[in-house]
């Protein structure tokens, strides 16, 4: 398999202005920080980037900015998140991303409770995206009530042309390992257990598309290199140094917590899009005290 789609692919936050427009200056700076740290690509429009709030034309805007830094034909990768509630809209957004220049799309299962299909419905969803968009596609396994289990992932790898991997965000490191054991080397499993990223690499993940990469890109790149060279002790040392920092960011309202943490590190990433507009002072204090130690 090509290494193009592997390694450290930070999901970039989407900075917004006070009026809710994309702040291009700030997002360019974040892309530069991650790529200068040695990242193997960048991802836009994911959960970290508030993807469900982004219109198709805004995905185009973000991809075109990313292409200023990751040129066509590069070994680095531009991944675009697709978060839509039906097959039609996911296909349309995927085609938009392809036309804008994305190398791959990362597609979330449908999320609205009473519209969650069974496994056969989800096979049809991803199969239709594969057939109609025709771009390398990563399953973003992040919806607890619509989990893509290892057997369905394996079937999609075998029976579709463009499904090529899964980002495992449901079930932690155990779920990642279950995927790895099921597919036995076919396809790619990406880590997203932020506080155990090195351990995921050590188990065999082909890389990560995970929020911690965007906050700590240099450390994440070093952990990936440790996994490739077998420097287990150093990889664990970095993971452990970041563990407590990550614990204060979990739960609801993740994007606003992450942007506040980045601000504590001297990186102003603007506003979140409404309705994620308020972070209580006690949560700010916990983040501030942890990130400024």
Show the tokens assigned to 153.
């992932």
Residue 2's pLDDT is 59
- What is the DSSP annotation of 146-160? G---HHHHHHHHHH-
Is 27 marked as a binding-site residue?
Answer: no
- Tell whether the model's pLDDT for residue 70 goes beyond 90: yes
Residue 14: asked if its preceding bond is cis (omega within 30°), the reply is no
pLDDT tens across 111-131, in order? 888 889 999 999 999 999 999
Residue 3's pLDDT band (cuts 50, 70, 90): low
d(CA 259, CA 254): 9
Per-residue pLDDT of 171-220, as tens digits, reads 999 999 999 999 999 999 999 999 999 999 999 999 999 999 999 999 99
| C-alpha span between 160 and 125 (Å, rounded) | 11
Catalytic center residues: 140, 167
List phi, psi (to 5°) of 75. -70, -15
* 238 annotated ligand-binding residue: no
d(CA 8, CA 269): 21
In the chain the domains, ranked by start, together with CATH numbers, are 7-231 (3.20.20.70)
Residue that wins the pLDDT comparison between 251 and 61: 61
- Cβ atoms of 47 and 11 within 8 Å: the answer is yes
* 188 burial type by CB count under 10 A (0-12 exposed, 13-18 middle, 19+ buried): buried
């Amino acid at each position: 398999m090509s290494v193009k789609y592997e390694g450290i692919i930070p999901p970039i936050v989407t900075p917004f202005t006070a009026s809710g427009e994309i702040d291009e200056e700030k997002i360019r700076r974040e892309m530069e920080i991650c790529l200068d740290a040695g990242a193997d690509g960048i991802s836009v429009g994911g959960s970290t980037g508030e993807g469900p709030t982004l219109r198709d034309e805004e995905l185009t805007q973000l991809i075109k900015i990313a292409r200023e830094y990751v040129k066509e034909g590069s070994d680095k990768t531009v991944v675009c998140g697709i978060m839509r509630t039906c097959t039609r809209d996911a296909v349309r957004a995927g085609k938009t991303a392809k036309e804008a220049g994305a190398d791959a799309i990362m597609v979330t299962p449908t999320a609205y409770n009473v519209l969650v299909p069974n496994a056969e419905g989800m096979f049809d969803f991803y199969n239709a995206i594969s057939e109609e968009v025709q771009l390398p596609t990563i399953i973003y396994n992040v919806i607890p009530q619509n989990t893509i289990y290892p057997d369905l992932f394996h079937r999609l790898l075998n029976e579709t042309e463009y499904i090529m991997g899964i980002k495992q965000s449901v079930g932690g490191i155990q779920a990642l390992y279950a995927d790895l054991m099921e597919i036995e080397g076919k396809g790619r499993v990406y880590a997203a257990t932020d506080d155990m990223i090195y351990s995921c690499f050590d188990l065999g993940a082909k890389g990560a598309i995970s929020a911690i990469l965007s906050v700590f890109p240099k450390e994440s790149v070093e952990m990936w290199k440790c996994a490739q060279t077998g420097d287990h002790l150093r990889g664990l040392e970095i993971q452990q140094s970041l563990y407590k920092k990550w614990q204060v960011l979990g739960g609801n309202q993740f994007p606003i917590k992450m942007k506040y943490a980045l601000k504590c590190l001297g990186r102003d990433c603007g506003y979140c899009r409404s309705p994620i507009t308020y972070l209580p002072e006690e949560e700010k204090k916990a983040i501030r005290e942890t990130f400024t130690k």
